[in-house]
Amino acid sequence: EAGVTQFPSHSVIEKGQTVTLRCDPISGHDNLYWYRRVMGKEIKFLLHFVKESKQDESGMPNNRFLAERTGGTYSTLKVQPAELEDSGVYFCASSQVVPGYNEQFFGPGTRLTVL
Amino acid sequence: AQSVTQPDIHITVSEGASLELRCNYSYGATPYLFWYVQSPGQGLQLLLKYFSGDTLVQGIKGFEAEFKRSQSSFNLRKPSVHWSDAAEYFCAVAIPGYNKLIFGAGTRLAVHP
């Protein structure tokens, strides 16, 4: 069974440009999460989807970030316009929706560099 | 607010030596506790978790962790490190009833031959 996949693995863009990151969760996982690690600091939660609905977006830094999960399968995270401080590694994770705590399975991350 | 502290940014050990990575958390009750490992080019892999019960938890790859309520700690240990253990290790907590993980800043482990 394929794990969580993310595309691209690396992206280098200029300040002010737009970038879209994609995450494909494990098949059958209705929970999908986005996290970000900036400059060797802690990994921080951005938001959580249950199917196509945003369950918790308390970690989204500002309105330059837009996450979507149309159809409840893959998700995209768009940064528009990108700023220097958006550089970091963006992780996606997915889990099942069952009673109790659901283990999150992580993708390899997308490394975003904004110049 | 909940937080996780990993006081060691970098640790270097010799192959075959024992290892302990420290983790402290800040939360009023007992959260769910996790250790993840990230090898180069890989995603975060769950090593072990603690929800309740026996405070000594066994994980994959020969790792174990001990929950100490009095110290709000969840330190990761391995009796004999292998070169393949070189990676970055993250301690994380989740508040019961909530799904999101709160991570520490990570500890990068280097292993000398």
Which stretch of A83-87, B8-12, B51-55, B72-76 has the lowest confidence by average pLDDT?
B51-55
Out of A48, A103, A109, whose CB is closest to B43? A109
Over range A61-76, report the average pLDDT: 94
Q: Provide the token pair at A99.
A: 């009673």
CB contact under 8 A, B101 and A35: yes
Residue A28, phi-psi category: left (phi > 0), alpha (psi -120 to 50), beta (remainder): left
Nearest-CA residue of chain A relative to B101?
A: A45
d(C-alpha A55, C-alpha A47), whole Å: 8
Q: 3-state DSSP helix/strand/coil percent for chain A, to nearest 5?
A: 5, 50, 45
Q: Which domains, and CATH codes, for chain A?
A: 5-114 (2.60.40.10)
A1 pLDDT higher than 70? no
Which tokens go with A109? 């991350």
Contact yes or no for A33 and B90 at CB 8 A: no
| HSE-up of residue A56 (Cα within 13 Å, Cβ side) | 15
* pLDDT for residue A70: 86
Q: Give yes or no for residue A102 having a pLDDT over 90.
A: no
Min Cα–Cα distance to chain A from B51, Å: 9
When computed from its CA atoms, the radius of gyration of chain B, rounded to whole angstroms, is 13
Pair A4, A23: CB distance under 8 Å? yes
Mean pLDDT of A50-79: 94
For chain B, which residues make up each domain, given as ranges?
3-112
Q: DSSP of A23-41, one letter per residue?
A: EEPPTT--EEEEEEE-TTS
Contact B90 A43 (CB under 8 A): yes
- Are A40 and B49 in contact (CB < 8 Å)? no
CB contact under 8 A, A45 and B100: yes
DSSP B61-72: GG-EEEEEGGGT
Residue A38 to residue A15: CA distance in whole angstroms: 16
Q: Are B104 and A42 in contact (CB under 8 A)?
A: yes
Residue B86 near residue B108 (C-beta atoms within 8 A): no
Q: Which residues lie across from A5 on neighbouring strands?
A: A24
% residues pLDDT > 70 (chain A): 99
What tens digit of pLDDT does each residue of B26-44 get?
987 888 999 999 998 888 9
Nearest-Cα distance to chain B for A61, in Å, is 16
Q: What are phi and psi of B83, to 5 degrees?
A: -55, -30
Three-state secondary structure call for residue B60: helix
Tell the CATH topology of B3-112.
Answer: Immunoglobulin-like (2.60.40)
- For a pLDDT cut of 90, what percent of chain B falls above it? 82
Provide, as residue numbers in chain B, all residues whose Cβ is less than 8 Å from the Cβ of A26.
none
Task: Report pLDDT for B28.
Answer: 78
What would the mean pLDDT of B1-6 be, rounded to a whole number?
90
Q: How many angstroms separate the CA of residue B4 from the nearest CA in chain A?
A: 9
Q: How far is CA B13 from the centre of its chain?
A: 16
Q: How confident is the model at residue A89 (pLDDT cuts 50, 70, 90)?
A: very high
What is residue A54's predicted lDDT score, i.e. its pLDDT?
94
> Does the pLDDT value for residue A53 go beyond 80?
yes
Q: Do B43 and A105 touch (CB under 8 A)?
A: yes
Which residue on chain B is closest to A9 by alpha carbon?
A: B41
Model confidence pLDDT, tens digit, residues A22-47: 999 999 999 999 999 998 789 999 99
